[in-house]
């Protein structure tokens, strides 16, 4: 890499860690949203009865 490996590899590692965090964060947000929607549906169904 022409002497730039000490800059390139940490940058690649940082980019990959940001991508992994982004996927993890999105999945976590989706799970929380599903829980909220399910609770709201349960509450709506219980009010109808």
Residue-by-residue pLDDT tens, the chain, 49 positions? 789 999 999 999 999 999 999 999 999 999 999 999 999 999 999 988 6
**pLDDT for position 2:** 87
- pLDDT value, residue 31: 99
Helical segments of 1-49, H only: 5-48
CB 8 within 8 A of CB 1: yes
| pLDDT score, position 3 | 92
- Would you state the pLDDT for residue 4? 94
Q: What is the CA radius of gyration of the chain?
A: 21
């Amino acid at each position: 890499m022409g002497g730039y490996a000490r800059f390139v590899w940490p940058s690649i590692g940082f980019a990959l860690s940001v991508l992994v965090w982004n996927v993890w964060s999105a999945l976590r947000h989706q799970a929380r949203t599903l829980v909220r929607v399910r609770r709201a549906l349960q509450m709506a169904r219980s009010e109808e009865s």
